[in-house]
Structure 1
């Protein structure tokens, strides 16, 4: 939010400089993002009088002027403005000045052979308006030689503040002045308390048929107004806030909003038909807003309408066809209270932002409707003239007057600084809080303009920030003697190991949003999603049930920009529904491999893509780094509908504990994410990995190399064609746990010599002697154990 120093001083009686005010604003939590003075951009531009004006000898449209700057030494200036003439008082840019509109530096120059010592300026060149048909004409009595910024009262610093969402009271200049007064930087001036009784009943019926969306609708009619330009002082205020002056009626509503944080609207009565009503929009209704865009509405949105249809997207933006123009003579004023959640929902659904929306969705002052209407009425009558009707008050805003139990000692307990009770009372009273002492505590009544204050900690925050955050002492945390113990939990240690392992394997870490569009989230949801009631936008509405969608969108963006191979991983939380519908956040590792596994080359020809076995290799390596017992893992059925049938699996410890899912992405899902070619993905549930028994930290067993050479034997089994090879390898490895240290599949064969409906699996079994070399009897015993274990899976030795 922007405001000028003079605007602030309209409401704050202070002698503080702009620098002091900026420092105090930062100190009380109202961050100053920038401060600029328009006068600085106009340095070198002075009030000057044209003494003589003669035609340029070599150009019909140019004149050679003799210009007086009040020092008795006239300057020669070449000028092409049609209104340049002897006796005119205007603005001269002297050599060294920089033109604000284009950044050009003034210097002496010869124009068509005639020396020119500066430039007579137009309003556009000085960024003071759009007029460029001629040079600025000042009053004849303007002091010659004076700095133009000083003469035009442009020496007025502008503050650019970043207002946090919890401070709707500071979305107006008056609220900022109140905070500064409480901080001891001046005295707050009271709000004008004028009441305009009205000389006739309001001729337009006003009502609210949507008391949830619009609990209160105050309004009145003013007849006989003249909608010309707003006063120069008001235009200056609006320009300092970054607003473009439009017309008196529009400027007045904007001025009241920026001054008091109270949005309002003025309708041209000539463009209305029948009663003006706050109601729900009807499905299919639409309105063309003041930004000249057409919006389709639904019945979740509150609108202001008449008998002919919608005129206003309530609390966000008015309609184009009922706005006030130069020919407006009679107006209807609207000062209403709209439900913040309804406004936020409507704005997100329509992707429509406005100054009014930013205030209504944060929460405007519920007790300022009547006063706001009177202030608005008074300004219109003073500037535009006319005659006001009686005010109409339909409904009532939500009741304020929240009372909070507060103990003064909490300022030191929670805030870390001791503040005297009388000082706390002064601060709270200056901020608008009312205090009643009740036995051992205070009953603090929260003012209507502070919807963010809910409890005692909020009161502490108000006291401490006004007293001075810089006065809170820095206190070091106590530290135990000796060597500090590790602070990372086992899960945090596991997370660090897995992150390092993934990076070491050539994967690039990505950080994606925890929120997803509904369609992308539903593609990976196996249960109802968690949907935000107040999302940042419609595209960030669902809490992610999986890390894969965010990684897929990141992969698509990279591939769309020319990346031939994408290898991404992310460590983060996914949000599921636990027992009884409670939230269950799971620390998860997601992996996406897309594009080319190996690059194209003249040696290999066509590039190779990733397949499900690449995903399995990554999962196994990362699980081992996480400390999972990879030797005991079971490869089981399909990973889910998001995966390509027959090209995915899960890794489990037992039938129910799923540690990981991996495989090739289903082509339909890949198409939904706009990715061409096969994509393989994997997801590891790091919280499903069992902790090491008897140890709080991950440690590797000490390495003791065997003293005897290992022995390997190959076995070929005939098994049913649908038997997973991993099941057979697992039972073979467990046939003799003392002697067998490893078993691996090295061949799969079907065809000649293998019965139909079966396949041949060749497994290499590695045995390790410990105390003595294996005898033939030992090897036969192991072979018999392997054959017996395989037989339980329906496997027979191949002859």
Structure 2
């Protein structure tokens, strides 16, 4: 025992000695069988499995390989004949076995960190020599099983790499001296790695050894070379700039920003086109956060409900973040959503309280679109998502197919399901759908103003109740695109002498000449064109 302990600390070469008289038959190195037991030298019984390597005789395990010997075959004061074992074990298997069985030993400590393969036979020879010198006796022939692994390897030794990798200057002769003192053999441009250094796996490791011995305290701080301007160029993408502009626009209008979870409950997800297995999270952090959100509106409505429960009834909330229509990469898009709940104006001396309506949401949406540089003329149609009120919502599109935004009143069944006291109006905007600006510059375009007097003319048309006012606006704007600068609705009237099922829509048409002051004949021509265009497009007639 004194010999093996001595060599363990002297050469980091663990050995094990069996009492040869207590062994039955030859020794075999094998995985343990399921349920086999071993009483180790620490006096404890261990139940083994095929994950554990053992040295066994015909009666069973006599040693837990690389960790601890067995008590039944251990050396005692009466031992006469001994069997000395020197082996090389897999570090990973030794570490795993030691952790599973909770055994700490000197042998495990060294084997799991790696021992010198070249000392397997040399360690055995030294141990036998010491036993013969201090204990006497006679040694038998050595029995060898397996082959010593070939650990010979060499890497290119480049003294200049110390400067490029570490930033340290050291003469080549000093670098060679350090490596040779550490056991490396330098032959020309190649450095041969000693067998006890399994951690050396490349040229960079050679540089690290030199720097470690020479001391990193010799390094001098040197600023990195500047390869560009002191102030770097902006790196934000167009979509990131748009999202930032949308946040600023919403805040300037008077909205408060919310940051809600990207996870929502399945009920809320199903209300907004999600739910099911596509957006389900395998390991949710809570039962009510089980799905990826398909829209920002569920989170805003939940936030409104919590505020209403605490007495805050008038709210203007917004969020700008990601939404998901699937769980795969790319199945997401950036969305900006605004929610208005409660009253737009409090009652006072100037009038009664007024709740938010769909036109408030439309106006705020148009303000945000303008801040993002959207085209001024967009198409407006219905057939929006099912969570909007069927008769109080709209969809803004760029052409017939590209949907930019939706706005309207939230459907009453949605408000009831999410416990929100309505009515509530909202809008959702997808900035990525906006076209790229035609000019790459950041300066504003030149302001073009006419030096001639503008002219406004009013028209009142009688149309069927089902005709949308937007249709009249589009028709009037297209009567003369060169002169008509804008058209707006200033009155809608029902009843009186009008036929049942009809309404009167009054428009103001603004004319801005570019080449000269308009004459009465030119104004009359444009007025006739407006009447003819609106009548043909909507079936309207001029109100007398």
Judged with a 3 Å threshold, the aligned counterparts in structure 2 of structure 1 residues 727 and 476 are, in CA distance, closer, same or farther, namely: farther
Cα distance in 2, alignment partners of residues 538 and 492 from structure 1:
33
The equivalent position to 2:400 in structure 1, one of 641, 645, 655, is 655
Do the aligned partners of 2:242 and 2:372 also contact (CA within 8 Å) in 1?
yes
- Whether the aligned pair in 2 keeps the contact of 1:576 and 1:583 (CA below 8 Å) is no
User: Is 1:507 the equivalent of 2:266?
Assistant: no
Q: Residue by residue, what CA displacement relative to the aligned partner does 1:270-304 show, whole Å, maximum 9, x if unpaired?
A: xxxxxxxxxxxxxxxxxxxxxxxxxxxxxxxxxxx
Quick check: 1:771 aligned with 2:498? no
Q: Do the aligned partners of 1:194 and 1:374 also contact (CA within 8 Å) in 2?
A: no
The Cα shift of 1:651 comes to 1.0
- Is the aligned partner of 1:599 residue 2:346? yes
- Cα distance change on mapping 1:585 and 1:474 into 2, 3 Å: farther
Which residue does the alignment assign to 2:132?
none
Closer/same/farther in 2, CA of residues 474 and 614 from structure 1, 3 Å limit:
farther
**Contact conserved, 2:266 with 2:275, CA < 8 A, in 1?**
no
Offset, 1:374: 3.5
The answer as to whether partners of 1:196 and 1:374 remain within 8 angstroms in 2 is no
Offset at residue 692 of structure 1 (A): 1.6
CA 602–704 in structure 1, closer or farther in 2 if over 3 Å, else same: closer
Match of 1:732 in 2: 476
Residue by residue over 1:93-149, the C-alpha shift from the partner in whole angstroms, topping out at 9 and shown as x without a partner, is xxxxxxxxxxxxxxxxxxxxxxxxxxxxxxxxxxxxxxxxxxxxxxxxxxxxxxxxx
Distance 1:596 1:536 in 2: 36
Call closer, same or farther: CA 1:587–1:477 in 2, change over 3 Å: farther
Task: Give the corresponding residue for 1:494.
Answer: 242
- Structure 1 position 585 matched with structure 2 position 352: no
With over 3 angstroms needed to count, the CA separation of the structure-2 counterparts of 1:534 and 1:763, relative to structure 1, is: same
Q: Cα distance, 1:621 vs. partner?
A: 0.9
Q: Does 1:629 align with 2:378?
A: no
Q: Which has more radius of gyration?
A: 2
Query: For residues 473 and 618 of structure 1, do their structure 2 counterparts lie closer, same or farther at Cα, with a shift above 3 Å needed?
Result: farther
Check 1:659–1:787 CA distance in 2 against 1; reply closer, same or farther (3 A cut): same
Judged with a 3 Å threshold, the aligned counterparts in structure 2 of structure 1 residues 532 and 473 are, in CA distance, closer, same or farther, namely farther
After superposition, residues 154-173 of structure 1 pair within 5 angstroms as: none
The aligned length equals: 385
What residue is the counterpart of 2:313 in the other structure?
564
C-alpha contact 2:274 2:293 (8 A) present in aligned 1: no
Unaligned runs of 5+ in 1: 1-191, 207-215, 217-364, 379-406, 423-432, 443-459
Q: Which runs of 5+ in 2 are unaligned?
A: 1-39, 52-91, 106-154, 169-174, 180-196
Counterpart secondary structure, 1:738: coil
Q: Distance in 2 between matches of 1:531 and 1:474?
A: 52
Which of 502, 508, 518 is 2:266 aligned to? 518
Q: Give how far 1:477 is off.
A: 7.8
Q: Note if 1:782 corresponds to 2:526.
A: yes
8 A Cα contact 1:718 1:797, kept in partner: yes
Q: Note closer, same or farther for the CA distance 1:372–1:550 as it changes in structure 2 (3 Å cut).
A: same
Partners of 1:620 and 1:609 in 2: CA distance: 20
Counterparts in 2 of 1:499 and 1:775: CA distance versus 1, 3 Å? same
Aligned to 1:312: none
Instruction: Provide TM-score, normalisation by structure 1.
Output: 0.42
Match of 1:555 in 2: 304
User: 1:375: which partner in 2?
Assistant: 102
Give per-residue Cα distances to partners, 1:557-608, cap 9 Å, x unaligned.
Answer: 2222222311111221222359xx7624322211011122223447645x33
SS at match of 1:628: coil
* TM-score, normalization by structure 2: 0.60
Aligned to 1:711: 455
Alpha-carbon displacement from aligned partner over 1:616-664 (angstroms, at most 9, x marks no partner): 111011111111113x111110422111221111111111111111111
**How far apart are the structure 1 equivalents of 2:511 and 2:441?**
31
Higher RCO (C-alpha 8 Å, min separation 6): 1
The Cα of 1:473 is off from its aligned counterpart by: 7.7
Q: Shift in Å at residue 486 of structure 1?
A: 4.2
User: What does residue 673 of structure 1 align with?
Assistant: 418
Q: Partner residue of 2:354?
A: 608
Partner of residue 542, structure 2: 797
Partner of 2:374, secondary structure, is: coil
Distance across 2 between alignment mates of 1:620 and 1:366 = 67
Taking structure 1 as reference, are residues 647 and 473 closer, same or farther at Cα in structure 2, changes over 3 Å only?
A: farther
CA distance in 1, matches of 2:313, 2:303: 14
